[in-house]
Structure 1
Amino acid sequence: MREWGDPMSPGNIIEADKPLNNLEYWRHRLQSTETQDSLVNDLPVPALSSDPGYEITEGSIIKAYSLGGQRLLAMSAEHRLAACCTALGLVLQRYYGSHAVWLAAITTQPDQVIPLELQFGLNWPLGFAFEQMKDSIDQEGQRAIAPQEFVNLSASLGKDLPIRAALGLKLTKSTKERVQESGCELLLNVKFAEGGIQVEALFRSDRYHRVMVDRLICHLDHMLEAGLQTPMTPISAVEMLTSEEKRQLDTKFSASSPPELPGATLLTLLNDQAEQTPGHSAVVHGTEKLTYTQLDHAVKRLAEVITGYGIGRGDLVALQVIPHLLLLPLMLGILAAGAAYIPIPLSFTAKQAQHVIKNSRAKLLLLLKPDDRLEATQIPTLHAAEALQKPAAVCAPAKSPAAFDRACVLYSFDTEGVAKRRVYDHRTLVQLASWHRQHFELSPDDRGVIVEQWETGIPSWSYPAYLASGATLHIVSEELAKDAEGLYHYFDEHAITCTLIPPELSIPIMKLENRSLRALLTWGLCGSLPGSLPPYRVYAGYSLAQSGGIAGIQLISREEERFPRIKPIAGVQWAILDSCGHLQPAFIPGELMILGKEFEWEDEDKEREADTDVFMNDPWNWRPQRKSYRTGRQARWLPDGTVQLLRTRDRK
C-alpha cells in the first residue's frame, strides 16, 4: 500500500523538483494542508468523572498505563514510539472527525522531530496501522529536524501550522521547552520504568481543558490496549468510550423526564381538570369561550356523533385546521371516539389534501367551515356546527383509547412532493404535555396563546399542556397571528402570561413592553436581540429534523453566543457520533443524532425510505428496533447536560 501511495506523495514531487533542506521540505509539505478546527476550551466544569488513575498537576497530567504496559515494555524503543503515535493519531482522528491528522513524533538520541501525516483507512486492522506507523517513522526519519528547527518551522507558518500534537519517549527538559515554544497544543511525554508506564501531558490551556486531556489519555490508553490485544480488529470497529462513559452519557446527559402517568391519555387529563376547575375558561376565540365543563360536554357529545358514523378505535379522521372555537373540541372528540385525527392545514393544496385523505384511508372528514379544496372528497363529511345539533346515534359506546394507540398523524410534503407522516400516540402527547407543563410551571392562573401561522396547522404538542394544567388557551385569528403590534395589545388586554409565537414575530414582540408575559417560546430568533432583554423568560425551541417536532429548548440570555446551547426535552434522547458511528465523549464534536417517537416519521415511498441516509440504528444498541435521526448538525456535549450546536455538515 505504501508503494502504491508513494508516487502521490507531495514530498516526492518536491524532491523531484529541486533539492531542499529538511526545514524547507516540511514547510512546503505543511503549507498545502488545511488547518483543522480547534477544540475550543470554554468549559471550566468536568463533564465526566475523572479516571482514578490520573494525577492532575498544574499545567500537566500524569497517568500510569494499565494492561498495555507490560506489552509495551517488551518492545523496542522504535516500536514503542510507533505504537503510541498510532494510538494518539487514532484518537485525534475521532476527535477532529478527519481521516488525515498531523502530529509530530519525537525520537531520542539525539532528540529529533518528525512531522507525520497520518491517514488510517477505516477498514485497516489495528496491527496493520501500527506497522504502517513504524515504516513511516523509519522513512520520514531521514527528514527529521531538530527541536529548534521545529520552532522555526512553526514561526514561519504562524497560526496555520496543522500539527496539533506531539509525542515522544523520555524527553529532556530542553526538548519539551522547545516543542512548547513552537505553539504545539498538546505534548505527550511517555516514560518507561520498571514500575510501569507514565504519560506526562503538557497542553495549551486556551485550546484544551484539563478534563479534556484527562479523557484523551484515557482514550489513548484504551486504543493502545485494543491494538496490542486484538491487532486484527478493524479501526472502524474500535470503541473509544468505556461502558461507564456510555452509561453516563445515556443517563446524566438525558433530559429529566416528568412524572410518569401510567395509562393516562389527554382525555383522562381533561376529565380530571373539568372536575377540579369546572367553571374556569378553557378555550377562548374572539368573544366566544368554553369553560372546562362545557368543553368536556362538547367532547363527549362529538364523540357520540362521530361514533355513529362507524368510527372506532384505530380509525383515522381528517380534520380541517383553522382558528375556531370548536377546533379543540373536535380534536378531543375524535380521540374520545377511539380514533386518531389527521390535521389538514391551509398550506395543503387541493391535490395534497386529497392525497392525504385517500392514502391515509381516513373514514370521515370534519369541517369547521366550507373549503373548496375538500369538495371532491369521496368520504363522509361532517360540519362541526351541525354535529353539535345532531341527535346521538344509538350505538355501542366508544372504546377508550389506550396509551399506545395512535392519537395524531401529521403529514408533510418535501420539495419533491413526497408525503411523509409522523405518528403520535397518546403516551407521547401526554409526555410532551407533562414536560411542557412542568418546564413552564403552568397553572390555572395562566392564560396562554398559541400564535400559529395557520397555513401550517396547530402544534399538536402545545395545546394539551394548557388544558392539562387548567389554564385558559386563547386561539387568535389568522390576521392577528401575523400582526406583532396587534398581538401586543391582545396580550396586554387579556393578561396573557405564556405564548408560543413564530420566529418572525419573536424580535418585534420582545421589543414591545409587556407587563403580563412571564414566558415566551418561539422557533428560533429572526434578527438580533433588542438592546435589553424583556423581563420575562424567552425560550427558543429547536426541531433539528426535517420531520419537525420539538427536540430541544434554549433559554435566551444576554450573553450572546456564536453557537447556541440546547437542552433536550423529555422523551427525546440525543447522541453525538463520530464518523464511524461511535458515541463521542463530552467536549468532542460529532454529528448530532435524535432518538424519539416524535422523529420516527414514515416515507410513503418505501423504496426511497429504505435508501435514505438520514436514519441509523440506536447507537447504544440497547433498543435496536428504534431508529435515530441524523440531523446533519455538528455538536458537542457540555458539562451541564446541554448540547452546543456548532454547524451543519456543509459547514454553515
Structure 2
Amino acid sequence: MTIKKIDKENVEDILSLSPLQEGLLFHYLTEPDSEQYFEQLVLHLEGEWHEATFRNVLQNVVQANEMLRSIFRWEKLEKPIQIILKQVEPTINLVDLSGYSDTMQSMKVEELIASDRAEKIDISVAPWRVHLYRLSGNKSVLVLSNHHLILDGWSTGLLLKELIEGYNSLLSGRSWQASTKPKYKQFIRYIEADDKHKQQQFWSSYLNGFEVKTPLPTDKKVKSEYTKTKHVNVQVPKLLSDRMQLLVAEEGVTVASVFYTAWGILLQKYGNMDDVLFGTTVSGRNPDILGIEQMVGLFINTIPLRFKTNSDETIAQILKRTSRMLRDRGEFDASPLTEIKAHSEFKSKESLFDSIVVIENYPLDQAFKGLDQRLRVTHVSLLESTHYPLALAITMDEPFNLQFQYKAEMFEEATIQRLADHFVRILTSCVKNPHVRTSQIVMLGENEIEQLCKQYNQTETKYPVHLSIHEMFESQAELHPDTVALICNQQKMTYRELNEKANRLAWFLKARGIGEESIVGVMIERSFEMIIGILGILKAGAAYVPIDPDYPSERITYLLNHSRTSVLLVDAVTERNFTDNNQTSVFSVNDIINDHSLPQHNVHGDYHPDRLIYVLYTSGSTGNPKGVMVKMHAFVNLLHWFTREFCIDDQDVMLLIAPSSFDLAQKNMFCTLIQGGKLCLFEPGLYDYNRMSDLIFRENVSLINCAPSAVYPLIDFNEGTDFLRIASLRLVFLGGEPINLNRLMPWMKSARFHAEIANTYGPTECTDIAAFLRLTPEEAVHAQGVPMGKPIDNTKLYVLDREMNVLPEGRIGELYIGGVGLARGYFHAPELTSERFVDNPFDGGQKLYRTGDLVRYLPDGNLDYIGRTDYQVKIRGMRVELAEIEALLLNHSDVQEVVVIDWQGVNGIKYLCAYIVGATEQALASIKAYAVLHLPDYMVPTAFMRMEQLPLTPNSKIDKKALPEPQFSTGGDRDLACNGSETELQVLAIWQKVLGAEEIGLYDQFFDIGGNSILLIQMHSQLEKILPGKITIIELFSSPTIAQIAQFIEKKDSSTSSLQSLEYVTLPAVFFREMLERQGASVHSHHFEGRIPEEIWDICSVEQIEMQDLMLALFIYLLAEFSEQQTIVVQIHTNQVQFIPFVTKMDSFEHFSALFQHVRNHRLGTFNESIELDHLRLLGRDKAPYDVLPLYSKKKDLKEPAPLNVFDLIWEVDIDEIHLNAVYSCTCNANRFNREQMNDLVDGYSELIGLLAHQYEKSGGKS
C-alpha cells in the first residue's frame, strides 16, 4: 500500500492510539481482505432533500468531531499514531436511481450497498465515506461507512442525531451549529494514567487457574483467506422480556448479568466444562472525564468475563455473584486486552476467548426521537462484524433483540440457528425459575431430544433370543452335514465332523461338573482344535475364556486365577509350553476328541438367554486386565444382525486372522458356521501376506475382518499383481482404529475392486459392534472420511455431557451405549461395573455403558469419532484432541500411518510431534503445509518425524513409550551470535528491542515469550526500516519464530530474483463488472459445473493421453479463443502452497491432436520453476483491470479452496478413470466477473467438447 503524504500545515494534532484502537489496527493489517470492523450504517430517508444543505451540515459535523478528521499511520514508526487534520473535505458519492422502476431501485440499492461493503477502507487516507442513492419521489438512501477505529456505537448515535437535527434545523430556517466536543486526547491520557500495578494484581487474580480455552461449536476448522460475517436475528418474546425486568427488580441485579449468565451456561453446556471465559464490551466512558457522554470516538473496550459455577448454586445466586463481579471489575474496565492476556496463563497468539457479548445501550432509532423531522428516517440498519468467530449483540429495546454474528467459514447457519434456540431456552429457564441449578436446565427442545434419543435409536428388531449359538450351528450341521465347515493348513473339516468332535468334548466337560456359569479356558492357536474347544464348551452350557498362548506366563497365570478357571483346554503345542497351575486342570483337546468312547450326539439342556457365553479380558487402567462378561443373547443379537445386514450365506468364506482373545474374532468364528458357510483359519505366527493372499485366492475368501493396520500391508503386497489374488473379497470389515482411505485407494481404484468396506465400532463391553457404516465401492472411492455410522439392531447410542444431558448435533460429548448388547459387567469387579455401567435416564430399569469415547452427531445422523476422553492434551492453554490431528493428517496422500504425541521442551513448553509412516523426508514439508492450512496454529505439530514403521506392543497397539524424542531445539538454542545467519541476527536484534529481552532462542514463539499483537506491529515497523518490503505483517503473523522469519525473507529473496512478473490472460472488458472492485475487497464467487460425455473417453484412447490432458488442452484453447492471445499461461497446482506456470504458444499447433500431445508431453516432462502462493500474491498486486490469472487443478489435489483474490478463474476437474466419469467446474471472482459472460465461457467449453466429438467421429479419429 502506498501511503499518501500529508500536508504538515494541515496537521492539528498527533495522538497515540488507545489499546482497543491498537488491537483493531492489528486486525486491519493482518486480515486486509476481511470485512471485520467495517461498519455500514444504512438510513432510508423520506422528505425534503437538498444536497447543498446536507453538505453544509456534514462539513459542520466533521469540523466539530475531530475523529472524523483522523487518519492513521504506522509504517516505519516506533508505535502507530492517529493524526488529526485541521481540514477535511467530505465527499458525498451521489447516485441517481430515480429513473428506474421501484423494483429495480431496490435491487440497485442492494447491489450498491454490497459493492460499498466489498470496497476496502483505507484508514491512512479516509477511515469513513458517504454514499447517497436518490430514489423516486422524495425517498433516498444514505449510507455511512467507516472503520470501527474511529467510532463506537454510542458515537454513531450521537453523529446521526447531529446530522438529522442540523439538516432539519437549516431546512426550517433556524440557525444551527454542531457542538464542540472535548478532545479525544483527554481519553487517551486518562487510560494511560491508569494504575498498571493494580490492573495486573486484579487480572492475575481474576484469571488464576483458568487454563483451557472455551471451545465453540464450530463446524469447520479450515483456515480461510477471507472471513465473511453472517447473522441470525432473534427477538426475545415480549412476555419473557417483561418477566426479565421483574426478575432484575426482585433480585437486585442488572439486565446485563442475566444475559451474561445465560451465555455462560450455554458455553458451559456446549463445552462440557464448569469454567468458561467470554468477552464483554464496556462503554469506556468514565464519568471522571468531563463531557465524555457527548464525545465522538472509540471508547468501548472488550474485556473477559469469567463464568465459573458450582453444581449446588442456583440461578439466583449466580446472578447476584455475577452482578457483584461486574461491579468489582468496573474499576479495571479500561485495561488493554493484550495486557490482560499477559497476566493470564495463555502465552500463545490465540486469543483469550472466541465469543463476545455486546449489549447496545444506545439503540440507533433513539437518535431521532423528539426531533422536528422535515427529513424523516423511516428505517435504519447497522451492518457490523468483529474478528471474533461468534458474537451476540443485544439491543436493549423492548422487547430485546438478539443478533448472533458468526464467521461463515467456521459455522453452518443451521448450527447458529440451533445455538440461538438453545440460548433463548436457557434464558427462559433462568428467568422463569431462578431457583433451579444449572444442571437442571435443559437447553434442547422436545423435537431435538426426540430426534437424538428416539428417532436415531429406532433399532428394535426381533431376533432369536431363545436360541443359543451352538443350536444355530447344529441346525446347519443337520442341514449340510457333508459341507465343508473349516479350512486350515489346506485341511478341511465338514459340519458333521466338527459337530461330533465338539459333542465329545461337551460330554467330557459335563462329566466333570462343567455347566452353566462355569468358566473354561481355551489356550489354543488358530486351528481345528480351537474351534472344537470353544464349540464344545458352549454345548456343555459353560462360558469360555480365550487366552493367547503368546501371552507372558505371568499374564496367563493372572487370567486363570482371576477368572477362577477350573479347566483349561490346550493342544499339543500349548500343552508343552504351559507351566502347571495348581488351581486349574489342563486337558488336551486332541486327546478328548480322539476318545471314541465319548458320546458324539448333541447335548440337550435348559438354556437361559442371560447365561454367559464368554469372558474376554481387555487392558485395564489399574495395570491388570479386566474380564468382560458377555451374555449369550447379546451375542445372538450381534450375529443375527451381522448375517442379515450383510447377507452372509452358505456361499461365503470368512478368513479368521485375529487371535481368539480379540473381541472381533468371536463373531468371525461363528458368522459363517451358523449360515452353512466356511470358516478359513489363517495359520498361526507372523502374518505372511504372500501366504495370506494365496489362501484368499485358493479358497475364494469373500469376508475378512481385522484392524485397518492389518489390511494395509495386504493391499500393498498385492498392488504389484493388480490385486488378482484378493479379487474374491466382497466384504471387508474394519474396526478398532480410524480407517485411512488413502492406504486402500490403490485397490479401490483398480478394476478388481468389487468389495464393500464396512467400518465397525464397538467396545468389548457392548459385544463387539455397536455402530457401523457401509461404503459401497463407488462411495469408498470418493469418500473424504469414514464416520462411525449408526447403531446396529437393538442398540441405542447417546452423546451426553458430564451430567448425562443430551448434547445437540455437532457437539462433542461422551458416547453412552444401551441395548441388548451390553455385557453383564466386569468379572469379580462390582465397583468398576457400577462405575462404567450406569442407570439409563432415558429408559428406566436399563443400563448404559460409558465408553470414554468422544463423539458427535453429524447432520445425516451418523456418529463421528473424535478421540478418547483420556487422549487429550493441553497445548498453549488449548485443549487438543490428538486423534483429531491424526485423522486430518491421514487425509494426506503421503501419510500411511500416523501417531501424534506431546513432548515437553527444554524450556518447559509442551509441543506436539507427528510420527509419519510412508512419507519421504521431502514430503514432510508438504504434510506440514497441509496441517498449517487445515488446523489452528496450536494444533499444528511442531515436529514431523519420518518412521519406517510404528513400534507396537505385544497386543499390536502402538507403543508410544518407544517413540523417539524429536532431535531439534524448541527454545533451547540460545547461541545465536555464533550460529545465526545475518538475517537471523537482524531479526534477533529487533526482537530484543521490542520484547525488552536478551535471551531469545531461534525457535522461541513470539507470542509465548511476551509478544502480542501490538508488539507485532512494532516489530514489523522495525523490520521495514532495515528490510523494506521483505515480509508483510500477515506473513509475520504466520511465522512466529526468528528462524521462520529469516527463512521466509531469505526464500523470498531467492524466488524474487528468479521471477519478477507474471503472465496473464487478458479477457475482453465485457467479461467484467461495470464497477470493478478494488483488490482489497472481500471475495465472493460464481460457480458453474459440467460433465464430460462418455464418447470423449474414446478420444483419449486414440490419442494415448489421459483425460486430464484433454480437459486442460480444451481449457487452454478456450482461453485463447476468448482472449485472442497466442500465448496462454495457466497455473498448474502441484501442492497446497506451490504452483507451476504452464505455457502454451497456440500458433504452434494446427490440430487438436498436436495440442493434446503438447499438453501431455509438457505435463510428463520438465516443468518450469514452481512459484509459492505468497509470491504469486505479491506479484499479482499490479494486475491490470482485465488481466486474469487462471488456475487448473484436479479436485483431489486441491485440498483447500484456492484463494480467488489470487486466481481469478479456477478450472477444477474431478476424474474417475475406473467408471469413466469426468466432471469440470469453474469458480470465478464474482467481484470482478460478469456472471452472464462467465456462463457463456462455460457453455463454450461444453460446445467445444461436442464439436470435438463430432469431428473425431467424422474424421475417423483425428482432428
Shorter-chain TM-score category?
0.7 to 0.9
SS of match in other structure, 1:187: strand
User: Relative to structure 1, is the Cα distance of residues 563 and 73 closer, same or farther in structure 2, using a 3 angstrom cutoff?
Assistant: farther
Aligned to 2:731: 519
Aligned to 1:636: 856
Is residue 2:826 matched to residue 1:602? yes
Answer whether contact 1:563 1:646 (CA < 8 A) is retained.
no
Aligned to 2:219: 41
Is residue 2:638 matched to residue 1:432? yes
Mapped partners of 1:390, 1:294: distance in 2: 13
Is residue 2:357 matched to residue 1:166? yes
**Counterpart AA for 2:218:** V
Answer whether contact 2:615 2:628 (CA < 8 A) is retained.
yes
- Deviation, 1:71, is 0.7
Gaps of 5+ in 1: 1-11, 44-57
User: Relative to structure 1, is the Cα distance of residues 134 and 570 closer, same or farther in structure 2, using a 3 angstrom cutoff?
Assistant: same
Question: Which of 516-525 and 356-365 deviates more?
Answer: 356-365
Is residue 2:794 matched to residue 1:622? no
Q: Deviations over 1:358-387 (max 9, x none)?
A: 443334332232243254454444322332
User: Relative to structure 1, is the Cα distance of residues 444 and 606 closer, same or farther in structure 2, using a 3 angstrom cutoff?
Assistant: closer
Mapped partners of 1:438, 1:403: distance in 2: 20
Q: Deviations over 1:59-88 (max 9, x none)?
A: 424355487444125466983332122112
Aligned counterpart for 1:320 among listed residues 523, 527, 532: 523
- Deviation, 1:138, is 4.5
Q: How does 1:128-277 map to 2 (within 5 A)?
A: 128-140=317-329, 160=351, 162-168=353-359, 172=363, 177=382, 179-189=384-394, 192-193=397-398, 199-254=402-457, 256=459, 259-277=462-480
Q: How does 1:341-352 map to 2 (within 5 A)?
A: 341-352=544-555
- Deviation, 1:261, is 2.1
Mapped partners of 1:381, 1:489: distance in 2: 36
User: Relative to structure 1, is the Cα distance of residues 203 and 415 closer, same or farther in structure 2, using a 3 angstrom cutoff?
Assistant: closer
Q: Deviations over 1:103-137 (max 9, x none)?
A: 33577999956534132213322112222333444
User: Relative to structure 1, is the Cα distance of residues 75 and 126 closer, same or farther in structure 2, using a 3 angstrom cutoff?
Assistant: closer
Question: Which of 400-409 and 211-220 deviates more?
Answer: 211-220
Q: How does 1:67-106 map to 2 (within 5 A)?
A: 68-74=240-246, 79-98=254-273, 99-105=275-281
Answer whether contact 1:324 1:368 (CA < 8 A) is retained.
no
Aligned to 2:614: 408
Aligned to 1:50: none
Aligned length: 610
- Deviation, 1:423, is 0.8
Is residue 2:752 matched to residue 1:532? no
Aligned counterpart for 1:360 among listed residues 563, 580, 594: 563
RMSD: 4.3
Answer whether contact 1:507 1:526 (CA < 8 A) is retained.
no
**Counterpart AA for 2:323:** K
Aligned to 1:127: 316
Mapped partners of 2:644, 2:364: distance in 1: 57
Aligned to 1:462: 668
- Deviation, 1:317, is 1.9
- Deviation, 1:419, is 3.9
Q: Deviations over 1:375-433 (max 9, x none)?
A: 44544443223323242379996523221111111234547552411111110111111
Question: Which of 184-193 and 553-562 deviates more?
Answer: 553-562
Q: Deviations over 1:453-507 (max 9, x none)?
A: 467687223322222232211011113x611232122111211111023443221
**Counterpart AA for 1:162:** F
Aligned counterpart for 1:591 among listed residues 810, 814, 824: 814
Percent of aligned pairs with the same amino acid = 16
User: Relative to structure 1, is the Cα distance of residues 394 and 493 closer, same or farther in structure 2, using a 3 angstrom cutoff?
Assistant: closer
User: Relative to structure 1, is the Cα distance of residues 427 and 162 closer, same or farther in structure 2, using a 3 angstrom cutoff?
Assistant: same
**Counterpart AA for 1:101:** L
User: Relative to structure 1, is the Cα distance of residues 589 and 605 closer, same or farther in structure 2, using a 3 angstrom cutoff?
Assistant: closer
**Counterpart AA for 1:403:** P
Mapped partners of 2:197, 2:584: distance in 1: 82
Answer whether contact 2:481 2:496 (CA < 8 A) is retained.
yes
Answer whether contact 1:266 1:468 (CA < 8 A) is retained.
yes
Answer whether contact 1:346 1:454 (CA < 8 A) is retained.
no
Q: How does 1:513-592 map to 2 (within 5 A)?
A: 513=723, 514-522=726-734, 523-524=736-737, 529-534=743-748, 535=753, 536-543=755-762, 549-553=768-772, 557-558=780-781, 564-592=787-815
Is residue 2:650 matched to residue 1:447? no
Q: Deviations over 1:192-251 (max 9, x none)?
A: 54xx66544333222222222222222222222322233232323433334543332222
TM-score, normalisation: structure 2: 0.43
Aligned to 1:17: 196
- Deviation, 1:539, is 3.5
User: Relative to structure 1, is the Cα distance of residues 489 and 190 closer, same or farther in structure 2, using a 3 angstrom cutoff?
Assistant: farther
Mapped partners of 2:476, 2:601: distance in 1: 28
**Counterpart AA for 1:492:** F
Mapped partners of 2:866, 2:584: distance in 1: 48
Mapped partners of 1:387, 1:537: distance in 2: 41
Answer whether contact 2:628 2:827 (CA < 8 A) is retained.
no
Q: How does 1:277-316 map to 2 (within 5 A)?
A: 277-316=480-519
**Counterpart AA for 1:615:** R
Q: Deviations over 1:537-569 (max 9, x none)?
A: 333444567999444445574567689544444
User: Relative to structure 1, is the Cα distance of residues 515 and 494 closer, same or farther in structure 2, using a 3 angstrom cutoff?
Assistant: same
Mapped partners of 1:412, 1:140: distance in 2: 52
User: Relative to structure 1, is the Cα distance of residues 616 and 329 closer, same or farther in structure 2, using a 3 angstrom cutoff?
Assistant: closer
SS of match in other structure, 2:714: helix
User: Relative to structure 1, is the Cα distance of residues 348 and 424 closer, same or farther in structure 2, using a 3 angstrom cutoff?
Assistant: same
Mapped partners of 2:565, 2:513: distance in 1: 12
Question: Which of 563-572 and 438-447 deviates more?
Answer: 563-572
Answer whether contact 2:638 2:767 (CA < 8 A) is retained.
no
Aligned counterpart for 2:232 among listed residues 48, 56, 60: 60
Aligned counterpart for 2:699 among listed residues 471, 476, 494: 494
**Counterpart AA for 2:847:** R
SS of match in other structure, 1:318: strand
Question: Which of 401-410 and 125-134 deviates more?
Answer: 125-134
TM-score, normalisation: structure 1: 0.80
User: Relative to structure 1, is the Cα distance of residues 67 and 379 closer, same or farther in structure 2, using a 3 angstrom cutoff?
Assistant: farther
Aligned to 1:472: 678
**Counterpart AA for 1:578:** D
User: Relative to structure 1, is the Cα distance of residues 65 and 285 closer, same or farther in structure 2, using a 3 angstrom cutoff?
Assistant: farther
Answer whether contact 2:664 2:706 (CA < 8 A) is retained.
no
User: Relative to structure 1, is the Cα distance of residues 59 and 293 closer, same or farther in structure 2, using a 3 angstrom cutoff?
Assistant: farther
SS of match in other structure, 2:810: coil
Answer whether contact 1:105 1:166 (CA < 8 A) is retained.
yes
User: Relative to structure 1, is the Cα distance of residues 490 and 555 closer, same or farther in structure 2, using a 3 angstrom cutoff?
Assistant: same
Answer whether contact 1:346 1:456 (CA < 8 A) is retained.
no
